[in-house]
Structure 1
Amino acid sequence: MKTIYEMPGHLIRRAHQISTAIFAEECMAFDVTAIQYSALCAIGMHESLDATRLSRLIAFDRATIGGVLERMEAKGWIERVSSPKDRRVKLLRLTPEGENLVERVESAVQRAQKRLLEPLAAEDRKEFLRLLSQLAQVHNDITSAPIQPID
């Protein structure tokens, strides 16, 4: 019988904890979380993005993304504006402060990613990322927040 320390689910959860801790250390000076960074990047890359589409794009459940957006709005990083097509729909936009933050935090994010994979040999990093991507794609639809690309 395998111990939990040999089970993929446990190891993936531990890797996530480690990834989150490294991100927090590297990005501490910017007071931004990994999910906030993901949201900022997605909002910056897509015009006419509402909260529902954002949650689908970054695979974060709709109920939780609302609180994330409220905190980002309170920090002055994003704004919500009414859609010209439907005034009830609020579109998300980066503020100049949000755009500036994305630029300033980029090197810290890259350091975090490098630190996370540093223990692996270069070829192992590529294979690790390939396998993680494969798992994420194959099991995407069974999660509570599957990634749904925007057309």
Structure 2
Amino acid sequence: MALMNYGIDRLGFLIHDAARVLRKRFEERAGSLGVSAAHWRLLVRVVKEEGITQARLAELLEIEPISVSRLLDRMEESGWIERRAAANDRRVRTIFPTAKALDAYHVVKGMAGEVYEEALAGVSPDERRDLIRALEAITLNLSDGDPAAATATTTDNRKYG
């Protein structure tokens, strides 16, 4: 009964729908630069963690290593990233942003900020803080006791805007 009082029975649908429309609006704006939401998530990681390994990218993005490899192939072909062999282990591939990626990062980050502002129109600063805290709590509660997994997500979202 308590679930019905606050519409919590729809929580999963609301979170999913909010993420879907945010992603759609972002892709409408950033598409002209050839950056999808998947490209953006990867690009942010590569810009913030230059020299990150493919394996670590797969872990952070929560996608299969082969999918990361294919995404990196496309991004490398388009001039967004470059792969280098790790200095200590030539079998390990590290990823670095190109000048094109660094230039686009700042433009796309601004676009993402505009989408967030559009999404939060009419939401007060206090409500925004409450929303962020609530989403962080949900993430922590469902991270199976792995505070590192929850912290990586919430910290990244603060860092990456």
Contact 2:50 2:97 in 1 (8 A): no
d(CA) in 1 for partners of 2:143, 2:39? 21
Please give the secondary structure, in 1, of the residue aligned with 2:79.
Answer: coil
Aligned twin of 1:104: 107
Q: Which runs of 5+ in 1 are unaligned?
A: none
Which residue is equivalent to 2:35? Answer: 32
1:47 CA drift (Å): 3.2
**Runs of 4+ in structure 1 over 3 Å off:** 146-149
Structure 2 residues not aligned, in runs of 5+? 153-161
Richer in helix (by share): 2
State the Cα distance separating 1:111 from its structure 2 match. Answer: 0.5
Paired position in structure 2 for 1:61 = 63
- Alpha-carbon RMSD: 2.5
State the alpha-carbon separation in 2 of the partners of residues 71 and 147 from structure 1. Answer: 29
Question: In 2, Cα distance between the equivalents of 1:17 and 1:69?
Answer: 23
**Matches of 1:94 and 1:141 in 2, distance apart?**
33
User: Equivalents in 2 of 1:93, 1:138: separation in Å?
Assistant: 33
Q: CA deviation at 1:44?
A: 1.4
Higher relative contact order (CA 8 A, sep 6+): 1
Count residues in correspondence. Answer: 145
Which residue is equivalent to 1:132?
135
Of residues 38-47 and 71-80 in structure 1, the stretch that sits farther from structure 2 once superposed is 38-47
Q: Which amino acid aligns with 2:64?
A: R
